[in-house]
Amino acid sequence: MGAARMKVYNGCAILLFGMIVFGSLMAAASTGPTDMSTAILVRVDQSGINGDFKKIQDAIDSVPSNNSELYFIWVKPGTYREKIVVPADKPFITLSGTRASDTIITWGDTGEIIDSATLSVFASDFVGRYVTIQNTFGTSGKAVALRVAADRAAFYGCKILSYQDTLLDDNGRHYFSNCYIEGATDFICGNAASLYERCHLHSLSREDGAITAQHRNSTSEDTGFIFSGCKITGIGTALLGRPWGAYSKVVFYLTNMSSVVLPQGWDDWGDQSKQSTVCYGEYKCYGPGANRTKRVKWSSSLSSDEAAPFLTMDMIGGRDWLRPVPTHFKRGSTILTEQADGITRD
């Protein structure tokens, strides 16, 4: 296994995954799919008319343990009132709607943060596409919509909705593209290594709510949240983040920050000792909320060299594991192909 490259700024060590993940990826590939263009199609239709299952959980349960093929679970439009778990022994699943606005997974649980999620992903190599995932519990407690606690997970065009702890980005390497994420209190939290590209972050906080609560606990942990080309809006005022872990790491670059972002930007969560250990940076952000003249002094305006490690997929090793959408599907001996308006027979 090659040696990792290290970048350091303001005391924060940044490990670039690109040179260290090769061995683990090759090990995964030996038991994973050899054909990334073809997936087994499983259809979910709550009406029971045009589907193999009425419930999403039943479709997930039908995937064999430790499967070595891609499974594509196509969810027809509807509101699915389910609390869903993707178990660790069911890798290589894609869960896809056609539009997030009409394919909704909803539940309303609270309690311990690790138990309240509407959708919990424990399986590696998971993909979510064009679905809404929401927790409707309300404003009085922890209410996770999505928990991601597995390596190599990606989400495209999803809506993730709740109030407190909306997205528990728990552990592993993750990628979020063109997602809408909404909440008020620490609504993107956890200790994953995640890249958010072109995502819309919407704060429901009336005042002083935090968008992020990243949970990195030491310099040896290669984790952090990176936001690239995103947009921040809201109904009141919000902080960019506060440290759930003493070595919390969050970077925003090329992000449009509305006036919802408080001038100080960041908070130490009542522990001044964390000011010397957190890694909070901004690079070429714009909009009224990006003005750094009143930012806390222990956050950073990154130079081009300091920002360089965050301008690629290297932190999550994404070039090696992000996979394209399958172009062919099979159900038994029937081969199908994807078209713009859905999946139809050849």
What number is the average pLDDT over the span 7-20?
A: 45
Task: State pLDDT tens for residues 287-322.
Answer: 999 999 999 999 999 999 999 988 889 889 998 999
What number is the average pLDDT over the span 97-119?
A: 96
CATH number of 40-171: 2.160.20.10
**Residue 171, pLDDT above cutoff 50:** yes
Catalytic hit among 151, 186, 268, 314: 186
pLDDT band at 63 (very low <50, low <70, confident <90, very high): very high
Enumerate the β-bridge partners of residue 93.
Answer: 71
Residue 3 makes CB contacts below 8 A (sequence gap 6+) with 19, 20
Catalytic hit among 125, 165, 169, 320: 165
pLDDT band at 76 (very low <50, low <70, confident <90, very high): very high
**Residue 103, pLDDT above cutoff 50:** yes
**Residue 339, pLDDT above cutoff 90:** no
- Number of neighbouring beta carbons within 10 Å of residue 36: 14
Cα-only R_g, the chain = 20
**Residue 6, pLDDT above cutoff 60:** no
**Residue 27, pLDDT above cutoff 60:** no
pLDDT band at 12 (very low <50, low <70, confident <90, very high): low
Question: Phi/psi class of residue 48: alpha, beta or left (left: φ > 0; alpha: ψ in -120 to 50)?
Answer: left
What number is the average pLDDT over the span 207-214?
A: 96
Task: State pLDDT tens for residues 36-45.
Answer: 999 999 999 9
CB 130 within 8 A of CB 157: yes
**Residue 7, pLDDT above cutoff 80:** no
pLDDT band at 23 (very low <50, low <70, confident <90, very high): very low
Fold match between domain 1-31+190-322 and domain 40-171: yes
**Residue 24, pLDDT above cutoff 50:** no
**Residue 22, pLDDT above cutoff 50:** no
Is the pLDDT higher at 153 or at 28? Answer: 153
What number is the average pLDDT over the span 276-289?
A: 98
Query: Exposed (0-12), middle (13-18) or buried (19+): which is 144, by Cβ within 10 Å?
Result: buried
Task: State pLDDT tens for residues 125-138.
Answer: 999 999 999 999 99
Active site residue 208: no
Active site residue 346: no
pLDDT band at 189 (very low <50, low <70, confident <90, very high): very high
Give the distance, in angstroms, between the CA of residue 131 and the centroid of all CA atoms in the same chain.
Answer: 13
Give me the CATH topology for the region 1-31+190-322: Pectate Lyase C-like (2.160.20)
DSSP string, 112-166: STTT--SEEE-SSSEEEES-EEEE---SSS---SEEEESSSEEEES-EEE-SBS-
Domain locations in the chain as residue ranges: 1-31+190-322, 40-171
pLDDT number for residue 309: 87
- Strand 209-214 and strand 188-190: the pairing is parallel
What number is the average pLDDT over the span 222-233?
A: 97
pLDDT number for residue 312: 86
Q: Is the dihedral of CA 301, 304, 310, 311 positive or negative?
A: positive
In Å, the largest CA–CA distance within the chain is 64
pLDDT number for residue 77: 97
Question: Phi/psi class of residue 72: alpha, beta or left (left: φ > 0; alpha: ψ in -120 to 50)?
Answer: beta
Question: Phi/psi class of residue 208: alpha, beta or left (left: φ > 0; alpha: ψ in -120 to 50)?
Answer: left
pLDDT number for residue 344: 46
What number is the average pLDDT over the span 255-278?
A: 98
Query: What is the share, in percent, of the chain residues with pLDDT greater than 70?
Result: 87
pLDDT number for residue 342: 56
Mean pLDDT, the chain, rounded, equals 89
**Residue 169, pLDDT above cutoff 90:** yes
**Residue 17, pLDDT above cutoff 50:** no
